[in-house]
Structure 1
């Protein structure tokens, strides 16, 4: 199963990042981006919320029940308990902002795809050697193209995803640097559009992102 999910991520090239979105609003968002051609969604743990494990678990369970056959994952995963809660809720991939060898290995032990975050060459290689399927270079928007080129040049054998500050305006430029895929947050899961129930615009944004990726 993990190999199938890994292949799906490579084919899709984009994971939509949802923060603090739950219930019917989350379901409507996922429906909209799916109509626009985006299938992969990361539901994050809000670490400031003492009820984040319950909320994220319930959100993942709801998505798996509503969208049968789709692959959903958990993001901002920092602890073994959060990994296990996500696994029990049906998550297929675990995404973190940092490189934690224990989290990577536990994720793989449970048969899920591991996508830890890293910024430096040492962190990227450590994550790769620990078994990460992809490494999330984060925060890409702040690091800049020059840094990314220099970092990726000697370690281009590692599959990396660009996350942090990715939008429709810079997506093509980031993909041209050699990333396997991207994670996109507010450009897709936009709070203003959600509050105004503008799911038609969210769908259109997903379609535009899909078109950009199909050309890169």
Structure 2
């Protein structure tokens, strides 16, 4: 099963990061993204919300029941073992983190979830890789830039990378051309303002644009 999710991520490339969006708004958003071709959605744990485990778990369950496997749902900002277990219980098939925590990576691996910890430096990237990460999330990719990413991929060419934070239509193609497996994208696909204004048609168009770029590489 885990190998299938790895392959699904490599084939579909675009992970939409949903942060602080719940209920019908989340369903409508993911429906629009799916219509636009995006089939990977990350629902984050909001670390500043004391009810984040309950809210994120409910959101993952809702999306799984609504999309029945057509959209692969992951949990984001997973930083504790409790969140790993909650993500698994809710039906998440992969987890993403902003940092490298060996215990989190190994626990998720044991639960047969794909692991995507976040890292910035070569030391962190290789620590994640040797801990058993399936992908390493270069974070924040947009701030670090394409030159930094290219320099990393010279010596560290045995790691599968996901570019996250600051990835846009202007640089997505360049990250993929460098050899990145995919990208995590938030505001361009999941803008709270557009969601609250029910402008899901715009977000569908954004999804179509990013998917088209990913298919050209």
- TM-score band w.r.t. shorter chain: over 0.9
* Structure 1 residue 91 corresponds to structure 2 residue 92: yes
TM-score by length of 1: 0.98
Within a 5 Å distance, the mapping from 1:129-168 to structure 2 comes to: 129-168=130-169
* Structure 1 residue 209 corresponds to structure 2 residue 210: yes
What residue is the counterpart of 2:67 in the other structure?
67
1:153 positional shift? 0.7
**What secondary structure does 2:187 align onto?**
coil
What residue is the counterpart of 2:22 in the other structure?
22
Q: Which consecutive residues of structure 2, in runs of 5 or more, have no partner in the other structure?
A: none
Q: Aligned pairs, how many?
A: 216
Could you tell which deviates more after superposition, 139-148 or 170-179?
170-179
Measure, in 1, the Cα distance between the counterparts of 2:192 and 2:171: 20
1:189 positional shift? 0.2
What residue is the counterpart of 2:13 in the other structure?
13
Measure, in 2, the Cα distance between the counterparts of 1:171 and 1:135: 17
What residue is the counterpart of 2:186 in the other structure?
185
Measure, in 2, the Cα distance between the counterparts of 1:64 and 1:142: 33
Within a 5 Å distance, the mapping from 1:96-115 to structure 2 comes to: 96-115=97-116
1:145 positional shift? 1.6
Within a 5 Å distance, the mapping from 1:39-58 to structure 2 comes to: 39-58=39-58
Could you tell which deviates more after superposition, 188-197 or 111-120?
188-197
1:203 positional shift? 0.7
1:184 positional shift? 0.4
Measure, in 1, the Cα distance between the counterparts of 2:37 and 2:149: 28
Measure, in 1, the Cα distance between the counterparts of 2:11 and 2:177: 16
Measure, in 1, the Cα distance between the counterparts of 2:138 and 2:170: 19
Measure, in 1, the Cα distance between the counterparts of 2:97 and 2:203: 25
TM-score by length of 2: 0.98
What residue is the counterpart of 1:198 in the other structure?
199
Measure, in 2, the Cα distance between the counterparts of 1:169 and 1:120: 24
What residue is the counterpart of 1:118 in the other structure?
119
1:167 positional shift? 1.2
